[in-house]
Amino acid sequence: MIRYMSTRGSGIKVSAADGVIKGIAEDKGLYVPDSVPTIPFSFEELRDMKYEDVAKAVIGAFFTDYTDGEIADCVEEAYGEGFESEYVAPLVKLGNVSILELYHGKTAAFKDMALSILPYLLTTAVKKQNEDKKIAILTATSGDTGKAALEGFSDVDGTEIIVFYPKSGVSVVQERQMLTQKGNNTHVYGIDGNFDDAQTGVKRIFNDKNFAVKLAERGYRLSSANSINIGRLIPQIAYYVWAYGQMIKQGSINPGDRINIVVPTGNFGNILAAYYAGSMGIPVNKFICASNKNKVLTDFINTGIYDANREFFVTNSPSMDILISSNLERLLFILSDNSGEEINKLMVELENNKKYVVSDKIKAGLNDFYSGFCDEKDTLSEIYKVWKEERYLMDTHTAVAHKVYRDYVAESKDDTPAVIVSTASAYKFADSCISALGIKENLNGFECIERLNDLTGVVIPAGLKDLDKKEVKHDSVVPKEHLDKAVLETLK
């Protein structure tokens, strides 16, 4: 049976169900599996499998304390009518690359792929562990996680969900999606800071034992919907396994061929899931980490020095506007041969100095990765270029990945077949997209959606239609230092 251990070396191992409920380990570390299963089917079988069947097999291989029936129920509830594509995550051939579209869920972003199933994994875990307290889901978002988590947990019995987002750091569409969220158990707060401030504040609450006692007295225990939760991370592995099968089916590769995987990256969870897919047996040549102007990950992968002491930029790919990439801690743990002591030291340095330097051993492990970055001007140019040449409309984050991949090919001459992860519908960032296509009219974010539709004919996701006409239900803004007070006020 696979158990879950902390990246910071406490030595305590827990079941998957317990890890899903806790969210973060007792020593402030993140849970990782103590072993990685191999893919439980052949590549020939994978080629013809439905997405739901791939998800059942992959998640079940990691969450071994869940029964097959429990996993099946969670998957079938998650990936049903809420997705607008019958394939859940269709793979689209685009020239010499394949685009993995992960935005066909209710909120038009890739976070739906994991956050559609997390509520079911969590409520199943609560029953399995005989948990008698309500679960308070506490989440920081750079844009997409917030809405997907709110949508997933809305009116789920035994839960309350609280989302903090940077008031001036998300798109107009992303903000309105959150502010209009229905559900008696949903709570949304803007903060007067950036995503790193929100994430730091949420982590501080999780690590405050006295705060946990206060919540317990009110009948609550904390959990997270961020990618620090293994219930978020593990389901993401499934779509990389699925993509490999689809590449075989479409004739882009033969079974056993290597591929490159290109991911627009902020908090490092999505590309980490790709890394785990590789560890399970998907043949990967290079993991390509694409950053925007906040290129802390690019600099780290190229030098082995993580330095968040730099200017923070608000860009046109806001979900990547992050300087503290939480999930990187898991990769460091793996590359250090599971040295909790070493990782704990690095994380203390990060907390105290916003900087650390990894060992030669970890740095050598980074050779599986390539990283580059794309600024705002080049992001818009890439959207225009791909639309003009391929008549394919991509959002700003996907454009960053596409540009970084082209830079990689030019530099390396590597012609390995590649899959580029498309993380959001272009309509979530319609203002940037119409600007990229040459429209200079002074339109608000919602008018941009209609204008982009007129320009391209690309179907508007159902969840974004008439968004500006929906009632705003959340309008609170709190100082970044007082997230704990907001939580206590909410969970009376």
Encode pLDDT of 173-191 as tens digits. 999 999 999 999 999 999 9
Q: How far apart are CA 290 and CA 406, in angstroms?
A: 11
Q: What is the largest distance, in Å, between two alpha-carbon atoms of the chain?
A: 61
The percentage of residues in the chain with a pLDDT greater than 90, rounded to a whole number, is 94
Where residue 445 falls among pLDDT bands split at 50, 70, 90? confident
pLDDT score of 80 more than 90 = no
Name the token pair of 434. Answer: 């119409």
Chain segment 193-208, per-residue pLDDT in tens: 999 999 999 999 998 9
Mean pLDDT across the stretch 452-479? 95
Where residue 266 falls among pLDDT bands split at 50, 70, 90? very high
Name the token pair of 76. Answer: 């079938």
pTM of the predicted model, to two decimals?
0.94
Chain segment 379-422, per-residue pLDDT in tens: 999 999 999 999 999 999 999 999 999 999 999 999 999 999 99
> Residue 396: which residues within 8 A CB-CB, separation 6 or more?
316, 317, 379, 380, 383, 429, 432, 433
The DSSP call for residue 332 is H
pLDDT score of 424 more than 90 = yes
Where residue 95 falls among pLDDT bands split at 50, 70, 90? confident
Burial of 197-210, coded b for 16+ CB within 10 Å and e otherwise, reads bbbbbbbebbeeee
Q: What is the pLDDT of residue 219?
A: 96
Q: What is the pLDDT of residue 490?
A: 96
Mean pLDDT across the stretch 285-313? 98
Q: How far apart are CA 174 and CA 429, in angstroms?
A: 8
Q: What is the pLDDT of residue 226?
A: 85
pLDDT score of 99 more than 90 = yes
pLDDT score of 227 more than 90 = no
Mean pLDDT of the chain: 96
Q: What is the pLDDT of residue 143?
A: 80
- Strands 284-291, 476-478: pairing is unpaired
Q: What is the pLDDT of residue 492?
A: 86
Chain segment 8-51, per-residue pLDDT in tens: 999 999 999 999 999 999 999 999 999 999 999 999 999 999 99
> Residue 247: which residues within 8 A CB-CB, separation 6 or more?
91, 98, 253, 259, 417, 419
Mean pLDDT across the stretch 421-442? 95
pLDDT score of 340 more than 90 = yes
Does residue 324 contact residue 200 with C-beta atoms inside 8 Å? yes
Q: What is the pLDDT of residue 144?
A: 85
Where residue 369 falls among pLDDT bands split at 50, 70, 90? very high
Q: What is the pLDDT of residue 107?
A: 94
